[in-house]
Amino acid sequence: ATNYGSDLPISFTISENDRCLLFTSTTKQLYDFSILDLASGVTKVVKLDTQKAIDLEYAVMSPHDDKIVLPLYRLVDFGYVIDSISLVDPVLDEQRILISDLKEGDELYPIRWIDEKHVLLSSTVPDNWHGKPEAVYWSLDISTGEREIVENP
């Protein structure tokens, strides 16, 4: 994950099909990122309309690499918490906030795409940390922003 205390807050992720690399720049600006198509070598810069910090480790690209769901962060005291979940369509150059009502302690993390219209979200950081609270999972509809609890992710 991004180390927000460092001078170079860099984060990245690779799409599930290994075709695209999403990465932040090496500037102190925390909210724009680039998409490198590893097959063609073409890079596209995405300038977020909402200027909030990002950590691309928790970004997920759709199976066809045409949409990205990522958390947006806000600074609270001396750390960052997830404030909202955004949808970015780099093909159509469209962006939309899907969830904006997140409070500290109620953060949601995108895990993976379920299908073309739904993303799996988790209430805890997706890692192998032992002793963390039991995760609650939701299906997020990218068309409506509606969430529905998922029993067996």
Which tens digit of pLDDT belongs to each residue from 69-85?
A: 999 998 888 788 899 99
Do residues 23 and 12 touch, judged by C-beta distance below 8 A?
A: yes
Q: Is the pLDDT of residue 105 over 70?
A: yes
Report the half-sphere exposure of 140 (CA within 13 A, side-chain side): 28
Residue 49 CA: distances (Å) to CA of 34, 93, 125, 149: 14, 11, 25, 29
pLDDT higher than threshold 60 for residue 8: no
Question: Considering the entire predicted model, what is its pTM?
Answer: 0.86
**CB-CB neighbours of 15 under 10 Å:** 20
Write out the two tokens for 87: 């949808």
